[in-house]
Structure 1
Amino acid sequence: MASRRSYGSYNDGCAAAHALDLIGERWTMIVVRELLLGPKRFSDIQRDVLGIGPGVLTQRLHDLEAGGIAQRRRLPGPGRIDVYELTDWGYGLEAVNTALSLWAVTSPALPLEADMSPDTVVLAMRAHARPASRGPDERRVELVLTDSRRRDGQPATYVATMSAEATTIDRSPGTRPTVAQVCATTRDWKACVIAGVPLEQLPDVRVSGSRDAVRDLIDATSLSISTSASGVPG
């Protein structure tokens, strides 16, 4: 099968057109999205990106490597495990992912009833993150999310750090103390931070520690779309 011609081959020197040559193929930006929070194995990416076949995933990863956006690395120790990770340049695509999210969130066709992977929910929170509105001191909340799309999903752990300067959320839990822990499915947590369903209406979201800190995290990262238009169950 002949490869798709690039925009540059049509004498189009636009940088945005070149960006589409690099990441415009179907699934490419979705694969990038799944690597924005850190390296993953091939099987992890295929698990988290529902609908992508192994052949297509192999090709997209090959294209990302060829474009200098991603790279394959072998982890030290036994097992000879390979992971894929973004290059420093590739990590710049989080700004693109954020811009796309902020633009598309007002689309009337946005499938708000659809589920999301743990990383995708956290990236949505990062896209809308604001400084904490209460208290100058830095506080951390551990977030443990289980993929509601999979019955056998293993929880993924993140830590949100809130301060008057910024709110950040990272996959690596770290060792610094937290003031609260939240355990939830991605469906319930999405309903809370994206659809604006009050925490009290989601009994399956388990909170230990400071509930005020958890509410502050929701305030600092929520999208707050009206539930009447969302179709997200509470």
Structure 2
Amino acid sequence: MTLNLTYGDLGDACAAAHALDLIGDRWSLIVVRELMFGPRTARDLESSVIGVSADELKDRLQFLEHAGVVVETELGYITKTTAYALTPWGRELETILGALGRWAHGSSRFPIMTAGMTPSGVMVAMRTMVPAGSATTPEPISVAWELTDVRRPDAAPQQFRLLWTGNQFDLAEGTLEDADVTVAGDSTAWTGVVFMGFPVDAAIAEAGLRVEGDRAALDRVLGLFADTLAEAS
């Protein structure tokens, strides 16, 4: 576990400076983002945290565990597998991710057009870019996603579901039968649609995105993010 001088050690008692000591490392918030939908193994995290080495990831997980942001847990009932999950305090960082995402949209060098997004990354962004209580639908809408990352062909697809009823926008990991509309394909292609206004038909034709079901329901969801991002810019 990396040990460096903290801002406190240097004489700065600012709470924001202390927060940077805890999560200001290059990989910390990315690890947190990938854990927002539930526990992941170190192997899964190494696959989805683009650019991190196994040693760097191990170091970050140990540091975040020591800081109280992450906890080691187990998956499975018969064959137990070591995994990592956010603590309740760590989950509070979702609001920080949302605030940083909105702030970043004001950057002249916003990287989405030249980089990619993991399945968890784009879905966390969707969840955090919806201000609480501001999204209202007159009729319930349900959407299911199965997203892959073409940059990581060995990684398993991730499934997500949205249940949007009234002003409750419930986006989580998991399957959903009989969804109004289903979306499958590359997570970066979906990022272009939801956050950059790339037309759905173009993503289908050019990026292999697959959409089945009620396109009007999907357009309603996309319209919400268009409005939200317009307010953030």
TM-score normalised by the chain length of structure 2: 0.88
Alignment gaps of 5+ in structure 1 = 227-234
User: Is 2:217 aligned against 1:216?
Assistant: no
Alignment coverage as a number of residue pairs: 224
**C-alpha displacement at 1:75, in angstroms?**
2.5
Q: Is 1:139 matched up with 2:138? A: no
Q: How far 1:171 sits from its partner (Å)?
A: 0.8
**Corresponding residue for residue 118 of structure 1:** 119
SS at match of 1:25: coil
Helix, strand or coil at the partner of 1:9:
coil
Alpha-carbon distance in 1 for matches of 2:33, 2:108: 23
* Structure with the largest fraction of helix: 2
Partners in 2 of 1:44 and 1:2 — Cα distance? 22
- Residue 115 of structure 1 aligns to which amino acid in structure 2? G
Which amino acid counterpart does residue 188 of structure 2 have in structure 1?
R
Q: Which has the higher strand share?
A: 2
Where does structure 2 lack aligned partners over 5 or more consecutive residues?
none
- Cα distance change, pair 8–156 in 1 and its aligned pair in 2 (3 A): same
C-alpha contact (below 8 Å) 2:34/2:120 kept by paired residues = yes
Report the Cα offset of residue 3 of structure 1: 2.9
TM-score, structure 1 as length reference = 0.87
Post-superposition Cα deviations, 1:105-148, rounded to whole Å, max 9, x if no partner, equal: 12111212211100001111112226556x42322110111112
Equivalent residue runs for 1:81-230 within 5 Å: 81-112=81-112, 113-129=114-130, 132=135, 135-173=137-175, 177-203=178-204, 204-222=208-226
* 1:2 Cα deviation from its structure 2 partner: 8.2
Q: Structure 2: how far apart are the matches of 1:165 and 1:20?
A: 34
Kept in 1: contact 2:147–2:185 (CA 8 A)? yes
- CA deviation map 1:134-183 (0-9, x unaligned): x42322110111112223342211001223313231112356x4212111
Deviates more, 1:5-14 or 1:123-132: 123-132
Cα distance between partner residues in 2 of 1:185 and 1:101: 21
Q: For 1:188-232, what per-residue CA distance to the aligned partner results, in whole angstroms no more than 9, with x for missing partners?
A: 211111110121222232222211111112122347879xxxxxx
Q: CA RMSD in A?
A: 2.2
Separation in 2 of the partners of 1:70 and 1:174?
Answer: 28
Question: Which residue of the partner structure matches residue 44 of structure 1?
Answer: 44
Moved beyond 6 Å, runs of 4+: 223-226
Contact 2:189–2:209 (8 Å) recurs in 1: yes
SS in structure 2 of the partner of residue 44 of structure 1? helix
Alpha-carbon separation, structure 2, partners of 1:225 and 1:197: 14
Alpha-carbon distance in 1 for matches of 2:126, 2:76: 32
**Equivalent residue letter for 2:213:** G
Is 2:141–2:180's contact at 8 Å kept on the other side of the alignment?
A: yes
Task: Find the aligned partners of 2:224 and 2:164 in 1 and give their Cα distance.
Answer: 8
Answer whether contact 1:139 1:213 (CA < 8 A) is retained: yes
Once residues 132 and 92 of structure 1 are traced to their aligned partners in structure 2, the CA distance between those partners, rounded to angstroms, is 21
1:34 shift after superposition:
0.9
AA in 1 matched with 2:58: T
Shift of 1:73: 0.8
DSSP 3-state at the match of 2:162: strand
